[in-house]
């Protein structure tokens, strides 16, 4: 579904490689987790996949359902079915959350040749989603992420994910800043959205989110590339021994 082949990436305005030969294949219906220490390039990876123009692919490519999307902008990638849940969702005061969601939803409907939803019809869709995900309806009346707590922002990302129903979702440190209850709620929502037709790439520092969302494969990322992959037990081992242990082993 998503293939990343020997990807080298640098910041657009700096001559510094961040991803250095990163490769990954994400199959339909699977959950992959990427763990790694600070500065290993995890967040850069998520933004590059989503089409952030602050980064430049110098070599390698990203393929989505067989199509090379490396040169596509963020809009086109999203319309094809990619979704990034941001580590730090951006606050945009003045943009109503529900209206924004309707515009994003209709943009996708239009792209897929499906009928767009009027505000009334979309309200029904939204209320169904908020009920299913146990997200307060008052989220809808507020401005996009504006004044939201850290936990609320992450839950709002999951609501967007639920509305847009992407085929590949990248969750960039969705667990960071969440207390135990919020982590549980967010994880349950993600588990509800998982199905055999979509895939999830969970980027995290910690093993704890993987207690709730079971990954099929865990990858360890260091210095811009994957250095080890294995079953979910790899995350538990990493949690017990730490990244330093791995660094020593590798060296």
Chain residues in the site for another protein (CB under 8 A): 47, 50-54, 73-75, 77-79, 83-84, 86, 89-90, 92-95, 100, 103-104, 107-108, 111, 143, 160, 164
Question: Beta strands 199-204 and 92-96: pairing type?
Answer: unpaired
Give yes or no for a contact between 116 and 148, defined as CB atoms under 8 angstroms apart. Answer: no
C-alpha 1/C-alpha 89 separation (Å) is: 26
Least gap, CB of 53 to another protein (angstroms): 8
Residue number with CB closer to another protein (52 or 188): 52
Residue number with CB closer to another protein (86 or 235): 86
Residue number with CB closer to another protein (94 or 233): 94
Question: Beta strands 143-144 and 92-96: pairing type?
Answer: antiparallel
3-state helix vs strand vs coil in the chain, percent to 5 = 40, 30, 30
Distances (CA, A) of 191 to 86, 157, 217: 18, 14, 16
Least gap, CB of 105 to another protein (angstroms): 8
Distance of CA 213 to the CA centre of its chain: 14
Give yes or no for a contact between 199 and 30, defined as CB atoms under 8 angstroms apart. Answer: yes
Residue number with CB closer to another protein (95 or 247): 95
Least gap, CB of 95 to another protein (angstroms): 5
Least gap, CB of 97 to another protein (angstroms): 12
Least gap, CB of 29 to another protein (angstroms): 23
Place of tokens 């290993």: 40
Least gap, CB of 123 to another protein (angstroms): 18
Give yes or no for a contact between 68 and 61, defined as CB atoms under 8 angstroms apart. Answer: yes
Residue number with CB closer to another protein (103 or 125): 103
Residue number with CB closer to another protein (77 or 154): 77
């Amino acid at each position: 579904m998503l293939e990343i082949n020997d990807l080298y990436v640098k910041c657009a305005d700096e001559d510094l490689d961040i991803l250095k030969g990163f490769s990954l294949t994400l199959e339909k219906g699977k959950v992959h987790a990427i763990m790694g220490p600070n500065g290993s390039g995890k967040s850069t990876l998520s933004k590059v996949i989503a089409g952030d123009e602050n980064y430049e692919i110098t070599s390698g490519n990203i393929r989505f359902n067989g199509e090379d999307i490396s040169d596509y902008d963020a809009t086109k990638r999203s319309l094809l079915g990619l979704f990034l849940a941001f580590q730090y969702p951006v606050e945009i005061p003045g943009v109503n959350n529900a209206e924004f969601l309707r515009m994003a939803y209709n943009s996708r409907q239009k792209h897929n040749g499906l009928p767009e939803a009027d505000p009334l019809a979309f309200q029904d869709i939204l209320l169904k989603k908020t009920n299913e995900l146990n997200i307060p309806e008052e989220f809808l009346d507020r401005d996009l992420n504006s004044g939201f707590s850290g936990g609320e922002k992450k839950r709002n990302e999951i609501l967007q994910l639920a509305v847009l129903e992407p085929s590949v979702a990248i969750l960039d440190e969705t667990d960071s800043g969440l207390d135990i209850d919020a982590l549980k709620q967010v994880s349950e929502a993600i588990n509800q959205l998982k199905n055999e037709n979509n895939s999830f790439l969970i980027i995290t520092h910690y093993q704890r989110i993987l207690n709730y969302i079971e990954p099929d494969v865990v990858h360890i990322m260091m210095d811009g590339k994957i250095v080890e992959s294995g079953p979910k037990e790899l995350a538990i081992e990493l949690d017990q021994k730490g990244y330093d242990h791995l660094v020593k082993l590798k060296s």
